[in-house]
Amino acid sequence: MNFIRKIGLSLILFVLFAGQFIPSLGETVHATTETKEVGNRGIVYIIPVEQNIERGLEKFMERGFEEAKSMDASLIVLEINTPGGRIDTAEEIGALIRQSEIETVAYIHGNAASAGSYIALNADQIMMAPGSMIGAASLINGSTGEYITDPKLISYWKSKLAGAAELNGRNSKIAEGMADLDMIVEMPEINYTKSQGDIISLTSDQALKVGYSEQTAKTVEEAITFAGYSTEDVFRVEHTFSEKLAEFLTSRVVMTLLLFMGIAGVIIELLVPGFGVPGILGIAGFSLYFFGNSVAGFAGSETWILFLIGIVMLVIELFIPSFGILGLIGSISLIVGVVRAAYSASHVALSLGIAIVSAIIVIIIVANVFKKRGIWNRFILKDTLSKEMGYIPTASKDSLLGKEGISVTPLRPSGTALIDGERVDVVADGEFIDTNSIIHVVKVEGSRIVVESIVK
């Protein structure tokens, strides 16, 4: 019996131990290859920073830091290779790193350019792989690709870089020289003076000599060892399926296709009701667009609300004409929702423009092909009132044209007249005609008989 208990307890312990390394569907932390080294045996978390710096990365890193804290990790390694990105997002990530109670190491194995250098400078230690670089943090307009020359913005960004450098006793002038073209910075350690028009970017060897790197490490495991930790319990925070899907959906080409599919699909379904497929594709396009931007951290709940209000307003306009007011409000709400859900207004402007133009072309083609099934046919009377269907047409009054009669009632302007012994509904031609006046018929338009007074 004791033997069975021992076997059962061993199996339970094995399952619990194995569960730490076999993540369930949707989990994001995975064990890396173990390399046993002498050092502190705390848990080490590796968080990759290997994409453009935008709000999606911020959300991903927040999750990584929260998981590391919940696991009582002793060290967080930021594995950096990024061309840079949004400064505001880099500031948020920098604050996240500074406020963490867990020791942090920035391991640069590619480029820590622009905003990436700011993120690295906020870490407790910086280690670099051979051939990597840090710096080149000048401000660039994301839309035009040109340098930003606004002195206030440059001064602000320089102060942020300098402050991050000073956190760990680094030369703040070097950090400022990474952003300011006009500065002159002397670096005697590497026998180099930055002149006006240059931007500082440091190789791994140069960074080591000027104090912008603690060690040169060939691998992240080496960096962990140099930091004084064992590589026995190393976990890497991986992107979830949703995050990977969001990254794909928020790429410019895919985003443009989704907007095109959403705009064209919904409008075609409204114009050609009952078809089904365009409506499904339209809803799917908009849903994927908002889903991707929501998971990436770009879109809030207000963007969905604005979008739904826009769709409802456009539908109401189709059935309750409001002289375009509801349609205008709906269009504005829809566009604002789409724009606010994106990475930035400039990021989505081109995609939205291409999608709208393409959708209009497709809508015109589809409207012509299916014009007999269109929603506009609901407002057109298509039934024919013929004798064959049992309808008796009104007798023609053309024979009364030119005939005279007497007004039976005052004509103001309509009334009754007696013509050829028959009481007929008539209309005076622009004048009041009193009772018992002599009139004659000047025009017959279907059942409308127009008369004038004859003075005798």
**Which pLDDT tens digit goes with each residue over 204-213?**
999 999 999 9
Same domain, 213 and 281: no
Q: Average of pLDDT values for 382-400? A: 62
- Could you tell me the two tokens for 182? 């006009």
Q: Please give the pLDDT value at position 14.
A: 35
Calculate the CA 88 to chain-centre distance: 18
Position 34 scores a pLDDT of 40
Q: Are 190 and 270 found together in one domain?
A: no
Q: Is the pLDDT of residue 314 over 80?
A: no
What one-character DSSP code corresponds to residue 139?
-
Is it the case that residue 294 has pLDDT exceeding 70?
yes
In this structure, what CATH number is given to the domain that contains residue 403?
2.40.50.140
Residues 364 and 437 in one domain: no
Of 199, 220, 236, the residue at which a domain comes to its end is 236
Question: Is residue 405 included in any domain, yes or no?
Answer: yes
Residue 184: per-residue pLDDT: 93
* Strand ranges for 84-140 from DSSP E: 103-113, 125-128, 133-135
Residue 162 and residue 290 in one domain: no
Assess if residue 305 is contained within a domain: yes
Identify whether residues 147 and 289 lie together within a single domain.
Answer: no
Mean pLDDT, the chain, integer: 80
230 and 155 within one domain:
yes
Mean pLDDT for 56-85 is: 92
Does 345 map to a domain?
Answer: yes
Residue 343 lies in a domain: yes
* Mean pLDDT of all residues in 116-140: 95
* List of residues 6+ apart from 24 with CB closer than 8 A: none
Instruction: Supply the pLDDT for residue 17.
Output: 35
pLDDT tens digits for range 418-437:
888 888 888 888 788 888 88
Counting the structural domains of the chain, the total is 3
- Residue 425 located in a structural domain: yes
Domain co-membership, 231 together with 262: no
Distance of alpha carbon 285 from the chain centroid: 12
Among 33-42, 176-185, 434-443, which range has the highest average pLDDT? 176-185
Instruction: Answer yes or no: do 332 and 432 share one domain.
Output: no
Domain boundary among 187, 204, 236: 236
| pLDDT of 135 over the 90 cut | yes
Q: CB pairs under 8 A, 24+ apart, for 414-423?
A: 417/451
Residues 67 and 198 both lie in one domain = yes
Residue 143, pLDDT score: 64
Q: Give the angle 72-78-80 at the CA atoms, nearest 5°.
A: 170
Residues 216, 121, single domain; the answer is yes
Residue with tokens 């409008």: 267
Is residue 226 within 8 A of residue 127, CB to CB? The reply is yes
The DSSP secondary-structure symbol of 414 reads: E
Mean pLDDT of 253-269: 82
Q: Are residues 223 and 190 in the same domain?
A: yes
- Token pair 């402007």 is found at 349
Which residue carries 């051979």 as its tokens? 130
Answer yes or no: is 379 within a domain.
Answer: no
- Strand, helix or coil at 232? coil
Average pLDDT for 257-270 = 80
- What is the mean pLDDT of the segment spanning 89-105? 94
How many beta carbons lie within 10 A of that of residue 64, not counting itself? 25
Q: Which pLDDT value is given to residue 324?
A: 66
Residues 182 and 304 in one domain: no
Whether the model pTM is above 0.75: no
Q: Please report, rounded to a whole number, the percentage of residues in the chain having pLDDT higher than 90.
A: 35
Q: What is the CATH number of the domain that holds 145?
A: 3.90.226.10
The reported pLDDT for the residue numbered 166 is: 95
The last residue of one of the domains, among 185, 219, 236, is 236
Whether pLDDT at 311 is above 50: yes
Q: With bands split at pLDDT 50, 70 and 90, how would you rate the model's confidence at 322? A: low
Confidence band of 147 (pLDDT split at 50, 70, 90): confident
Joined together, the tokens standing for residue 62 give 């927040």
Query: What is the pLDDT, as a whole number, of residue 447?
Result: 78
Q: Is the pLDDT of residue 376 over 50?
A: no
With respect to residue 48, please indicate whether it lies within any of the assigned structural domains. yes
Quick: pLDDT tens for 234-248. Answer: 999 988 887 777 778
Q: Supply the angle between the helices 345-369 and 252-271 in degrees, to the nearest 10.
A: 40
| pLDDT the model gives residue 243 | 76
Amino acid 453 reads: S
User: CA–CA separation, 423 vs 406, rounded Å?
Assistant: 10
Q: Is position 27 within any domain? A: no
Please say if the pLDDT value at position 25 is more than 50. Answer: no
More confident residue, 185 or 327: 185
- Range scoring the smallest mean pLDDT among 134-138, 193-197, 232-236, 377-381: 377-381
Over residues 362-373, the pLDDT tens digits come to: 878 877 776 655
- Residue 281 CA to residue 194 CA, distance in Å, equals 56
Domain span at residue 361 reads 242-370
- Whole-number pLDDT of residue 249: 79
Kindly report each contact of residues 250-256 with a partner whose C-beta sits within 8 Å and lies 24 or more positions away, as own/partner: 250/56, 250/292, 250/293, 250/296, 250/298, 250/342, 250/343, 252/347, 252/350, 252/351, 254/292, 255/289, 255/292, 255/342, 255/348, 255/351, 256/350, 256/351, 256/354, 256/355
pLDDT score of 13 more than 70: no
